Amino acid sequence: MGLPKEKLYITVFTDDDEAADIWYKKAGVAEDHLIKLGEDTNFWAAGPTGPCGPCSEILFDLGIEHGCPEGCGPECECGRYLEIWNLVFMQYNRDEQGVLTPLPAKNIDTGMGLERLASVLQGVPNNFETDLIFPILKMVAEKAKISYGETPEKDLSLKIVADHLRAVIFLVADGVTPSNEGRGYVLRRIIRRAVRHGKLLGIQGAFLKDMVAPVVEMYAHYQELTQEKTFIFQTIAEEERRFGQTIDRGVQLLQTAMSTIGPDKVLAGETAFELYDTYGFPLELTIELAEEKGVKVDLTGFEAEMTAQKVRARAARSQAGVTFAEGAIDTAATRFSGYEKLTEEAVVLEVFADKQDRPIVVLDKTPFYAESGGQLGDQGLLAGEPVIDTQKRGDVFVHILAAGSAVPEKGSKVLVSVDAASRNATRRHHSATHLLQAALQKVVGDKIKQAGSQVGSDELRFDFTFPRGLTEEEITQVEDLVNEKVLEDLPVVTVEMAIAEAQASGAMALFGEKYGDKVRVVSAGDFSKELCGGTHVSSTGQIGAFKISREEGIAAGVRRITGFAGMRAIENYRENFDLVSGLTEIFKAAPAEIPGRIEKLQLSIKNFESEVKMLKQQLAIGKAENLIQRKEEIGGNSFIASVVDLDAESLKVACEYLRDRLKSGVVVLGSHEGEKVSVVAAVSDDLVKAGGNAGKLIQGIMGVLGGRGGGKPQLAQGGGGDPAKLGEAIAQSKKFLAEQLKVPAK
């Protein structure tokens, strides 16, 4: 890397004379550049027990300007000496008593800090200012209309947003999606923390999604990012939208609560729980926001409220005569009769309630298919009450009734019947999914592997591994092949056999399904053969029709096809036919001419918008010219401040135009459209050198208005606040400028 040797310092474990000797004699390190340190810094372990050993670190001297004014050494933690490499000599195993035993196979665990080394080679003070992340940080700063380096607090938020955004994009591309558990929960927390720090910077509304494309382009050598750009955008946009609904209300309530806290600086656990339980505001976010204000959260009180809430919920369910069963249900396995019949008389074995207090009924036998293998659970009637879903807990089927339904007594006999129309639509979609998988393998190749599916009465969804999106031609070929097999009316035969026999026959296994010794093999003629426990048509002709509605990427290397079968396919064709018919009537053109007409219309709209923009600019310049006559002077410097009738975009045009016309001067313009307030400030370069700063001017003005804003010293803008105070705020800008230039306001 060509690093200057005199800038490198080495640390070794205090007792590791062997390592020190190698550094001296073989690497030629000067004695005053090698430091022996104790176990706290130079003895590394994977944990309290297990492999461990002394380590040797390589540090780079960033210079006295990055450290203590009086000078220091590599053992100091001031930041002057940056560790760029670590070599751990794994030579011991430490047991629970702390005894070290030599490892039979020793090794060196070596690790270099890529971004740290990049910061050294690029001559920047930290990882965040390298070309690996600084362009992202600058994008965030531009979004926030601030500059990096304004304040330590803003810089911290800029670093957090930039770092988190990059991490989020790679996580989503790698197949992680936001959820409430596991790695999905980690992703959700990272996104939400980035959003919150964006708000601290003054960024309004969703913003992370807008930076996905430039970050993906910046890291385009990671091809999976480019391939999954649309999915990354959609995932981040949806999570931002959801969190945006929660955070604004929660922050406002938390700030109100903290404003009334006593001298003990402790937020009551009851308040934190109310934010969590009533408003969905995450506890960890409450803790983080409170810590920033020097406030502690009473976590013991929070847990007490959580426990009390669970007790209240259980009591309420007990009064209703039902209790919620968590985990496995201790009854005999449910006998499924739904392959042969849709109606059954069954005995009620257990009655529970779920967390939404919906009745849950367990029967000795049932024709209701419980969700598994990608097929959604059946709906229908149980003792005349609506069953809205059927699920599995182990080998037990649970029937979920609609809230408020009458609850049958344990031990009673009930008549249950599956919704035939819904079951038949689901069967068509399930069998069509089998044909779809076989067609994909024939059109695109055996590399297609199922990665999940969902079939119900409304649609089918099939996920598969493939490194790219399908072409329009491939999609058409797959759709045509499935419909050919539907028209051939192939027999759909189900045979139960041993798992080994099924595998030997070439039957494909369903993704995520667990198989016993005996399995069901579903075949559609010689075209498709799969292991499947779901319900199916008796011949492919019963599918009726098949239509692919969408093909898209959902994760790195994973694609999804959504489609319709039977009447849903016909409805989809009809919807599209009606849409095209409507467009032919509007455009008075043949269907084939519609795309060209729309393209022409879009071009006309684009040209019209350009003309409107140009006219707005001309109007803004015209109004700006009239303001030249109202020029004032502050300390001999030209100054124009006024409220004008312009929209926010035109306001900026007028402000920059006037600044350029003055050559040397300051311009502050404000306007409002209804309750929407906008203010722009512009300062010429010479007055910026003299102390003028448009960003700080805007901050002062927004302080009067109660809005937010900022920007660069030459140009800044703000918005929001009370329109009634706009005139007063613009008038006060004169005082703010005088303070900056250190001249009298008169």
Do 434 and 568 belong together in one domain?
A: yes
Q: Which domain holds residue 343?
A: 335-418
Do 391 and 430 belong together in one domain?
A: no
In a domain, 637, yes or no: yes
In a domain, 710, yes or no: yes
Give pLDDT, residue 190.
93
Instruction: Assess whether pLDDT exceeds 60 at residue 321.
Output: no
Average pLDDT of the chain, as a whole number: 88
Burial class of residue 387 (count of CB atoms within 10 Å of its CB; 0-12, 13-18, 19+): buried
Give pLDDT, residue 509.
67
Say if CB 436 and CB 561 are below 8 A apart.
yes
Residue 341 belongs to a domain with what CATH number?
Answer: 2.40.30.130
CA distances from 338 to 342, 636, 657 (A): 6, 91, 76
Domain end (from 212, 241, 260): 260
Residue 484 belongs to a domain with what CATH number?
Answer: 3.30.980.10
Instruction: Assess whether pLDDT exceeds 50 at residue 594.
Output: yes
Domain end (from 418, 443, 461): 418
Do 562 and 668 belong together in one domain?
A: no
Of 65-69, 294-298, 607-611, 659-663, the least confident: 65-69
Residue pLDDT, tens place only, 326-376: 444 778 899 999 999 999 999 999 998 887 788 999 999 999 999 988 899
Among 730, 719, 641, which residue's Cα sits nearest to residue 674? 719
Give pLDDT, residue 427.
96
Do 83 and 182 belong together in one domain?
A: no
Residue 57 belongs to a domain with what CATH number?
Answer: 3.30.930.10
Give pLDDT, residue 722.
87
Helix axes 694-705, 726-741, angle to 10 degrees: 140
In a domain, 271, yes or no: no
Do 30 and 95 belong together in one domain?
A: yes
Do 632 and 733 belong together in one domain?
A: yes
Number of domains present in the structure of the chain = 5
Give pLDDT, residue 647.
85
- Residue type for 479, please? E
Domain end (from 574, 597, 624): 574
Chain-centroid distance, C-alpha 381 = 39
The model's confidence at residue 324, banded by pLDDT at 50, 70 and 90, is very low
Do 98 and 153 belong together in one domain?
A: no
Do 364 and 448 belong together in one domain?
A: no
Do 623 and 651 belong together in one domain?
A: yes
Residue 22, H or E segment = helix 17-25
The mean pLDDT of 474-479, rounded to a whole number, is 96
Q: What is the dihedral of CA 192, 197, 202, 207, to 10 degrees?
A: -40
The mean pLDDT of 607-612, rounded to a whole number, is 90
Say if CB 590 and CB 584 are below 8 A apart.
yes
The model's confidence at residue 323, banded by pLDDT at 50, 70 and 90, is very low
The mean pLDDT of 195-212, rounded to a whole number, is 90
Do 400 and 468 belong together in one domain?
A: no
In a domain, 309, yes or no: no
Do 429 and 389 belong together in one domain?
A: no
The mean pLDDT of 550-559, rounded to a whole number, is 82
Give pLDDT, residue 318.
46
Say if CB 49 and CB 43 are below 8 A apart.
no
Pinpoint the alpha helices (H) of 36-151.
39-42, 114-121, 134-144
- SS3 state of residue 522: strand
In a domain, 729, yes or no: yes
Residue pLDDT, tens place only, 452-470: 889 999 999 999 878 788 9
Residue pLDDT, tens place only, 257-304: 888 887 888 999 888 888 887 776 778 778 888 888 889 999 998 998
In a domain, 292, yes or no: no
**Length reported for the chain:** 746
At 563, list the tokens: 């489609």
The pLDDT > 90 percentage for the chain reads 49
In a domain, 23, yes or no: yes
Residue pLDDT, tens place only, 106-139: 999 998 989 999 999 998 888 999 999 999 999 9
In a domain, 671, yes or no: yes
Give pLDDT, residue 10.
94
Residue pLDDT, tens place only, 674-715: 888 999 999 999 998 888 899 889 988 988 888 888 788 899
Secondary structure of 454-479 in HEC code, one letter for each residue: EECCCCEEEEEECCCCCCHHHHHHHH
Do 430 and 559 belong together in one domain?
A: yes
Residue 154, H or E segment = helix 152-173
